[in-house]
Amino acid sequence: MKYSYIPRGVCSRMIELDIEDDVIKSCRFLGGCNGNLQGIGKLVQGMEVDEAIERLEGIDCAGRGTSCPDQLAKALRAAQEA
């Protein structure tokens, strides 16, 4: 399943996911801190969705109350519900 998510409160403008059998096949961020977000995308590749959510949910960036990793967790939850 391909899923796109528009994050809120962070620098990235979109998160594109490809999920098969509850495993993240690819994760791509548009905008934001390119090198860091490419790294996060590679790290979650092959990871089960629930594990990625557990690891990333609640991470804060500069007191914003969210971060790109936290928004990825939200995107993964939304993809599960779609």
Q: What is the pLDDT along the chain (82 residues), one digit of tens a residue?
A: 999 999 999 999 999 999 999 999 999 999 999 999 999 999 999 999 999 999 999 999 999 999 999 999 999 999 999 9
Interatomic CA distance for residues 7 and 74, integer angstroms: 8
What's the pLDDT at 49?
A: 98
Residue 24 to residues 2, 21, 60, 61, 79, Cα–Cα distance (Å): 10, 8, 22, 23, 11
What's the pLDDT at 35?
A: 94
What's the pLDDT at 27?
A: 98
What's the pLDDT at 57?
A: 98
